[in-house]
């Protein structure tokens, strides 16, 4: 291990003990951050851990809505986001005000909100979902009609797997939305017989042309269990680190070189150390927003 890494890792371990902190990292984080984390996972796994973990401080290495989710579920803990600039363009594609207007147009629809959204938007929702449970959650609802926000691609994925009417919001992940059908065809040609596994944030045409669509946790599980020795991966490139680490004898190819989320790359060891030292930047949610947002998240956790 290079000297910088070793020094910072040691510093982080010491400070973690001192303030009884736990480090959570999303599967898209850079290698060194994944290595420093106590838990690495997909959005659903991390929100579950945030709700249950025994710690005074959570250092959330991901993007803003993820840390906010932890602050909603665990208000008694200090939740830190090492780089406050780590946002999510998809989450910014819906505001609480715009959602309130849309709800007036569809008074009978259940509002199903992807966790990639702000606390204010979650507070306007009946239930939250992640990509690992969206189909099950929607199918478990009593309502015949759902308003799915903000990701139209994940919403279409759900619509293809439910008898309910799904009303879509015009939002999308700018990283996954970039993957093209031509790239899927080119990958098939370059690697005949190799499964193409994508994230449901990709466009419906890309999902349909691929072999499987799973959350990042689902992709990891598939990679562990399949007999295939080669896989083509259509999600943010950070996942390849864990895929290779867990499956050293298998080969993974990124479906598109455009699959990089700059927001997920802001966090590094220096920023984790600094946030543990200063207990900043701290993410909090006002109580009047937190309580209704918590209900929507807890409904998801209890159904899934
Ligand atoms: P998951 O880890 O839940 O698959 O989410 C991926 C993602 O795009 C988060 O923004």
Domain of 16, CATH number, reads 3.40.50.10800
**Ligand 1 pocket residue status of 175, Cβ below 6 Å:** no
Pick the closest to residue 206 from 162, 254, 153 (CA basis).
153
Same domain, yes or no: 128 and 148: yes
Same domain, yes or no: 275 and 139: no
Please report the pLDDT score of residue 216 as a whole number: 95
Residues 234-280 have pLDDT tens digits of 999 999 999 999 999 999 999 999 999 999 999 999 999 999 999 99
- The preferred substitution site among 42, 91, 217 for testing ligand 1, maximizing ligand atoms within 8 Å of CB, is 42
- Whether 286 shows a pLDDT value over 80: the answer reads yes
Average pLDDT taken over every residue of the chain: 97
Same domain, yes or no: 98 and 133: yes
**Ligand 1 pocket residue status of 117, Cβ below 6 Å:** no
- Whether 120 shows a pLDDT value over 90: the answer reads yes
Residues 49-82 have pLDDT tens digits of 999 999 999 999 999 999 999 999 999 999 999 9
Pick the closest to residue 57 from 83, 81, 82, 80 (CA basis).
80
**Ligand 1 pocket residue status of 153, Cβ below 6 Å:** no
Same domain, yes or no: 111 and 95: yes
Residues forming beta bridges with residue 198, ordered by sequence position: 213, 234
Same domain, yes or no: 140 and 168: yes
**Ligand 1 pocket residue status of 113, Cβ below 6 Å:** no
Please report the pLDDT score of residue 304 as a whole number: 79
Q: Ligand 1 centre and the CA of 215: distance in Å?
A: 6
Same domain, yes or no: 138 and 202: no
Strand ranges for the chain from DSSP E: 21-26, 39-41, 57-61, 78-80, 110-114, 127-129, 145-149, 165-168, 196-198, 212-213, 230-234, 251-254
293 close to 123: Cβ distance less than 8 angstroms:
yes
Same domain, yes or no: 83 and 12: yes
78 close to 297: Cβ distance less than 8 angstroms:
no
- Whether 116 shows a pLDDT value over 90: the answer reads yes
Please report the pLDDT score of residue 188 as a whole number: 98
pTM (global) more than 0.85: yes
Same domain, yes or no: 150 and 189: no
Same domain, yes or no: 103 and 140: yes
Instruction: Please tell me the distance from the alpha carbon of residue 257 to that of residue 183, in angstroms, as a whole number.
Output: 10
Please report the pLDDT score of residue 195 as a whole number: 98
**Strands laid side by side in the 21-26 sheet:** 39-41, 21-26, 57-61, 78-80
Q: Ligand 1 centre and the CA of 6: distance in Å?
A: 29
pLDDT class of 44 with cuts at 50, 70, 90: confident
Neighbours of 156 (CB within 10 A): 19
* Mean pLDDT of the region 220-240: 98
pLDDT cut 90: percent of the chain above it: 98
| Matching residue, tokens 């099950």 | 136
* Mean pLDDT of the region 109-136: 97
214 is in which domain, residue-wise? 179-258
pLDDT cut 70: percent of the chain above it: 100
Please report the pLDDT score of residue 1 as a whole number: 65
* Mean pLDDT of the region 151-163: 98
Give backbone dihedrals phi and psi of 159, rounded to 5 degrees, phi first: -55, -35
Same domain, yes or no: 63 and 115: no
Residues 159-197 have pLDDT tens digits of 999 999 999 999 999 999 999 999 999 999 999 999 999
- Whether 98 shows a pLDDT value over 80: the answer reads yes
112 close to 129: Cβ distance less than 8 angstroms:
yes
**Ligand 1 pocket residue status of 131, Cβ below 6 Å:** yes
Tokens representing 58? 């959570």
How many residues can be counted in the chain? 304
Residues forming beta bridges with residue 25, ordered by sequence position: 40, 61
Atom 4 of ligand 1, residue of closest alpha carbon:
215
Neighbours of 205 (CB within 10 A): 13
List alpha helices for 23-160, DSSP H: 31-36, 43-52, 64-73, 96-105, 119-123, 134-140, 152-159
Same domain, yes or no: 276 and 299: no
Please report the pLDDT score of residue 47 as a whole number: 87
Question: How many domains would you assign to the chain?
Answer: 3
Instruction: Please tell me the distance from the alpha carbon of residue 108 to that of residue 118, in angstroms, as a whole number.
Output: 23
Instruction: Please tell me the distance from the alpha carbon of residue 7 to that of residue 192, in angstroms, as a whole number.
Output: 45
**Ligand 1 pocket residue status of 133, Cβ below 6 Å:** no
Tokens representing 144? 């015949």
């Amino acid at each position: 291990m290079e000297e910088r890494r070793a020094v910072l890792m040691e510093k982080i371990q010491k400070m973690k003990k001192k303030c009884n902190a736990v480090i959570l990292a999303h599967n898209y984080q850079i290698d060194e951050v994944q290595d420093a984390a106590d838990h690495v996972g997909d959005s659903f796994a991390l929100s579950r851990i945030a709700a249950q973990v025994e710690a005074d401080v959570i250092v959330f290495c991901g993007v803003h809505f993820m840390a906010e989710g932890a602050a909603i579920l665990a208000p008694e803990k200090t939740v830190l986001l090492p780089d406050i600039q780590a946002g999510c363009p998809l989450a910014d594609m819906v505001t609480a005000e715009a959602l309130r207007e849309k709800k007036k147009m569809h008074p009978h629809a259940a509002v199903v909100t992807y966790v990639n959204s702000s606390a204010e938007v979650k507070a306007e929702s009946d239930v939250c979902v992640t990509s690992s449970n969206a189909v099950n959650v929607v199918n478990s609802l009593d309502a015949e009609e759902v308003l799915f926000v903000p990701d139209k691609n994940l919403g279409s994925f759900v619509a293809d797997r439910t008898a309910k009417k799904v009303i879509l919001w015009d939002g999308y992940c700018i990283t996954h939305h970039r993957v093209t059908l031509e790239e899927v065809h080119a990958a098939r040609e370059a690697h005949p017989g190799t499964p193409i596994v994508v994230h449901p944030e990709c466009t419906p045409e890309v999902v349909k042309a691929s072999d499987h669509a799973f959350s990042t946790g689902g992709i990891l599980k598939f990679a562990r269990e399949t007999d295939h020795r080669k896989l083509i991966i259509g999600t943010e490139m950070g996942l390849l680190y864990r895929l290779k680490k867990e499956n050293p004898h298998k080969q993974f190819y990124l479906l598109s070189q455009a699959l990089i989320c700059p927001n997920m790359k802001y966090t590094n060891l220096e920023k984790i150390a600094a946030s543990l030292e200063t207990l900043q930047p701290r993410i909090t949610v006002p109580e009047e927003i937190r309580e209704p947002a918590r209900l929507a998240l807890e409904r998801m956790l209890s159904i899934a």
